Amino acid sequence: METVVVFGLGLIGGSMALAIKNENRTVIGVDNKDGHAKKALELGIVNRLGNIHDVAKAAVVIIAIPVDFAPELTLKVLDLIKPKTLVFDVGSVKSAICKAVENHPKRTNFVAAHPIAGTEYSGPEAAFKQLFYNKKNIVCEPKASGKPFLEKALGIFEELQMTTSFMQAKAHDKHIAYVSHLSHISSFMLGKTVLEIEKDEKSIFTMAGSGFASTVRLSKSSPNTWTPIFIQNKTNILKSLEEYIKNLNQFKELLKQSAEEDLYKSMESTHHLKNILSEIK
Amino acid sequence: METVVVFGLGLIGGSMALAIKNENRTVIGVDNKDGHAKKALELGIVNRLGNIHDVAKAAVVIIAIPVDFAPELTLKVLDLIKPKTLVFDVGSVKSAICKAVENHPKRTNFVAAHPIAGTEYSGPEAAFKQLFYNKKNIVCEPKASGKPFLEKALGIFEELQMTTSFMQAKAHDKHIAYVSHLSHISSFMLGKTVLEIEKDEKSIFTMAGSGFASTVRLSKSSPNTWTPIFIQNKTNILKSLEEYIKNLNQFKELLKQSAEEDLYKSMESTHHLKNILSEIK
């Protein structure tokens, strides 16, 4: 019987616990939100609740708490584990955590992972076993992980039916700012803009259709999760956000001038996305 | 046997033709893109192809061409129809077309409609019978339509299982700028921003997940349809776009300062959207 300790029992950690739990594994859950912990136990997401000291008997420890607290917790966990314990995190920003553990004597026990999976919902109630099925997964700085630990982690990701690729943390954080973090900001601010005008124009949402719903879907995501992600990946996000605002301003100017042909071209230029999007799961 | 003439056999017109065609109705299709017309016939979307002169024998004429040509075509159609023929359009901007027909002797034959339905795909291949099922529909300036014509149109919308509400064209155009047109611009420009950075960062799309896909889905929409919509509803869209850019800039400033609490609040403020979105079909 293998013991797995999962820190953070929200959408990601809870789904990870559900996906990993089987007759050969006991999953112990830790969540400093009392409500989350109780709910996760009640929903059968974990076998029992525990605390930081349970990591001493764990074969695997999973860090799925918000990224602002993950580096500190990971260091503490590395201090307490036995020599053969694998520790991996699942956060959306990778430089800070890789930097934090860099010189830890048990650095090789750690694998920095980012499963590209999620929904706009949060908390243990949102967790489901199939969240990671057929999804992409990024492992950062794989050479800094010891071979047996990396192999054990890759085995788990394969068991969850994710496809893993490898990247440096710096490249990960730059790219993910564009293809994930920026989408969330765009969606949060679109929701905000429409809610502001709705104060004066009561019936506005009676006209909203599926296009609006799709574009603002991510604005339902948890501010608890996303505030620290934005702050930790600030430099990359600011750059992507500036480019996005620049493009919106250019579009605005073209529209002001009713520059039909240029507006058309500006939209036409995204058509290459069609092929890319058809491959995204 | 009732004859219906549909102008424009793309996603909306094609779906309308498919939904309306039955053993008691012959649908004649007109599309000045030869490819579209042939394809629509081939796919069985219409019973046969025709031209503007077919409206003389039509019981119903549906205008589903891009909004820059719709007002002119509608005037021509009103000139040619018999006294009892109903004409309605399905465009996404309503002031221009309502203004154009305002003083036409057959104004009462016309109903200005906007079914809030669509997908990111375009052309006759994208058309499907169920597009309008359970969707909202807006009829503008209902008092300018003659009672029998309005009733006939409402009967058709009900047959398609849409729920119709009524608005003035000016209010429609203002509101739709926020809940539809702005979403499209936000999505087009997000797609553009990420494609631009992808030129230097080749592997960026291997990291894109379902969140990105959902946010840029609308950027696959047809520039042919959307360029004239943006230009025709320019004043309202510019206003919504300015507010959106203002919110993005505010968010950027907060992020620059790592203003955790304010960033949190800014995102938290959209939570009311959760309830609204769950009602959108």
Smallest Cβ–Cβ distance between B210 and the set A182, A185, A281 belongs to: A281
Mean pLDDT of A109-117: 97
Mean pLDDT of A144-171: 97
Query: Is residue A205 pLDDT above 90, yes or no?
Result: no
Same domain, A132 and A176: no
Query: Is residue A15 pLDDT above 70, yes or no?
Result: yes
Query: Is residue B281 pLDDT above 70, yes or no?
Result: no
Residue B27 and residue A105: Cα distance in Å, rounded?
A: 76
* % residues pLDDT > 70 (chain A): 100
B248 and A255 within 8 Å at the Cβ level: the answer is no
Same domain, A155 and A181: no
Which residues from chain B sit within 8 angstroms of residue A223, using beta carbons? 263-264, 267-268
What's the pTM value of the predicted model, to 2 decimals? 0.93
Q: Which residues pair with B114 in a beta bridge?
A: B138
Same domain, A136 and A181: no
Query: Is residue B258 pLDDT above 80, yes or no?
Result: yes
Structurally, how many domains does chain B consist of? 2
Same domain, B146 and B196: no
Mean pLDDT of B40-69: 98
Q: What is the pLDDT of residue B251?
A: 97
B267 and A188 within 8 Å at the Cβ level: the answer is yes
Stretch among A235-249, B81-95, B200-214, B237-251 having the lowest mean pLDDT: B200-214
Which residues from chain B sit within 8 angstroms of residue A185, using beta carbons? 248, 251
User: Scanning the structure block, which residue is given the tokens 């112990």?
Assistant: A28
Instruction: Using the 3D structure, point to which of B167, B191, B207 is the last residue of a domain.
Output: B167
For the stretch A178-204, pLDDT in tens is 999 999 999 999 999 999 998 877 778
Instruction: Using the 3D structure, point to which of A167, A186, A203 is the last residue of a domain.
Output: A167
Query: Is residue B47 pLDDT above 80, yes or no?
Result: yes
Q: In what order do the strands lie in the sheet with B2-7?
A: B48-49, B25-30, B2-7, B60-63, B86-89, B110-116, B136-140, B163-167
* % residues pLDDT > 90 (chain A): 89
Query: Is residue A281 pLDDT above 70, yes or no?
Result: no
Mean pLDDT of A245-255: 98
Instruction: Using the 3D structure, point to which of B150, B167, B184 is the last residue of a domain.
Output: B167
Strands B2-7 and A48-49: unpaired
User: How many other C-beta atoms are found inside a 10 Å radius of the C-beta of residue B44?
Assistant: 10
User: Scanning the structure block, which residue is given the tokens 């921003």?
Assistant: B193
Same domain, B140 and B9: yes
Same domain, B176 and B133: no
Same domain, A218 and A243: yes
Q: Min CA distance, A151 vs chain B (Å)?
A: 22
Residue A45 and residue A28: Cα distance in Å, rounded?
A: 9
Helix or strand run (H / E) with residue B225: helix B223-232
Residue A216 and residue A54: Cα distance in Å, rounded?
A: 40
Average pLDDT, chain A: 95
Residue A51, SS3?
A: coil
Same domain, B156 and B227: no
Residue of A182, A227, A262 best to disrupt the B interface, most CBs of B under 10 A: A227
Reported ipTM: the value is 0.93
For the stretch B115-132, pLDDT in tens is 999 998 999 999 999 999
Dihedral in degrees, nearest 10, Cα atoms A61, A67, A72, A74: 20
Q: Which residues pair with A222 in a beta bridge?
A: none
Closest CA to A123 of A14, A245, A5, A262: A14
* Structural domain boundaries, residue B82: 2-167
Q: Which two tokens stand for residue A270?
A: 């995204």
Which residues from chain A sit within 8 angstroms of residue B172, using beta carbons? 207
Average pLDDT, chain B: 95
Same domain, B129 and B111: yes
